């Protein structure tokens, strides 16, 4: 096992750090403070981090090309011009339901996006998980409370997701050409009764799934058979989501949060809300570009 070295990439004290992503062509990492309505940009070339204000909450970013990104926001999917920051609505997402917002999501190898929604106060069964291929949106799973851990096997034949409120990490067979399910979901890992909750996840080139465990201050690795094979500890309790970065995906970005903590918990959990960098020989994959239908 390779030694993992955890360091602070950016100490921004985010209320709800989420949705890290990496652009390998530009060597730039992106992530959100969902509640703070900010998009962070970190340039590894010079170590500079910039915060971009957003008009509404956002949680997921997908690359389109060198000049555009797709952002999942409260009421829809928006195309963002990277140079100007201009946002253009691409497709609505529960736009008629002000009680929900976007949460976890990721791009399938086919170029389609899976994106989850949830109640703004995590109301039971208020959300869903959707599939969007640039032209149409389909509902995949209904009555989801907190959608998380959306990620895919390297060949696109398996999808993973969780409802954090249930404590079950699920797997489902997919059509690799579309990213649509071809069967019924089955339990991949049962975390009920375990420490912490299942949050964001990503899969590496070897098919190992890396999942942030909210409340346990860790990122856990699961083999393709569902066995937990490694745990990386972090100096923040509420780790929220990982993403690979570096020339060959050898490093990992991990966001965290202080949302919901009491004043006493915040005084103890001094690095809550920081964004971390883990170095140590990962075999990471980068998310595919979102294939927009121009």
Q: Among all residues, which ones are annotated catalytic?
A: 199
Strand partners, 50: 41
Phi/psi of residue 170, nearest 5 degrees: -105, 155
- CA 193 to CA 40: how far, in whole Å? 34
Strand stretches in 133-269, DSSP E? 137-144, 147-152, 158-163, 168-173, 186-190, 197-203, 209-214, 218-222, 228-233, 239-245, 251-256
93, 78 Cβ separation under 8 angstroms: no
Q: How far is CA 163 from the centre of its chain?
A: 14
Q: How far is CA 238 from the centre of its chain?
A: 14
Cα-Cα-Cα-Cα torsion 177, 179, 184, 190, nearest 10 degrees, comes to: 130
Strand partners, 42: 29, 49
How many Cβ atoms are within 10 Å of 271's Cβ, its own excluded? 16
266 Cβ contact partners less than 8 Å away, ≥ 6 residues apart: 258, 272
User: CB within 8 A of 169, min separation 6: which ones?
Assistant: 149, 160, 161, 162, 187, 188, 189, 190, 191, 198, 201, 209, 211, 222, 226
């Amino acid at each position: 096992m390779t030694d993992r070295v955890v360091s602070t990439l950016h100490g921004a004290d985010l209320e709800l750090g989420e949705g890290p992503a990496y652009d390998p062509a530009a060597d730039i990492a992106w992530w959100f403070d969902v509640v703070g309505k900010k998009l962070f940009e970190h340039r590894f070339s010079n170590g500079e981090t910039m915060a971009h204000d957003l008009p509404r909450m956002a949680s997921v970013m997908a690359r389109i090309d060198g000049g555009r990104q797709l952002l999942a926001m409260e009421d829809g999917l928006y195309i963002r011009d990277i140079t100007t920051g201009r946002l253009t609505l691409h497709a609505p997402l529960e736009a008629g339901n002000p009680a929900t917002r976007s949460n976890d999501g990721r791009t399938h190898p086919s170029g389609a996006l899976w994106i989850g929604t949830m109640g703004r106060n995590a109301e039971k069964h208020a959300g869903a998980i959707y599939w969007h291929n640039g032209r149409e949106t389909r509902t995949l799973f209904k009555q989801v409370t907190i959608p998380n851990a959306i990620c895919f096997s390297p060949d696109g034949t398996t999808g993973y997701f969780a409802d954090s409120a249930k404590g079950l990490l699920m797997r489902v067979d997919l059509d690799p050409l579309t990213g649509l399910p071809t069967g019924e979901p089955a339990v991949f890992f049962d975390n009920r009764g375990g420490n912490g909750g299942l949050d964001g996840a990503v899969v590496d080139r070897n098919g190992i799934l890396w999942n942030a465990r909210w409340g346990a201050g860790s990122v856990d690795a699961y083999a393709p058979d569902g066995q937990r094979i490694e745990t990386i500890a972090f100096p923040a309790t509420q780790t929220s989501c990982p993403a690979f970065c570096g020339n060959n995906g050898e490093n990992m970005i991990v966001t965290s949060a202080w949302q919901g903590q009491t004043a006493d918990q915040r005084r103890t959990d001094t690095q809550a809300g920081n964004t971390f960098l883990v170095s140590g020989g990962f075999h990471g994959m980068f998310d595919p570009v979102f294939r927009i239908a121009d």
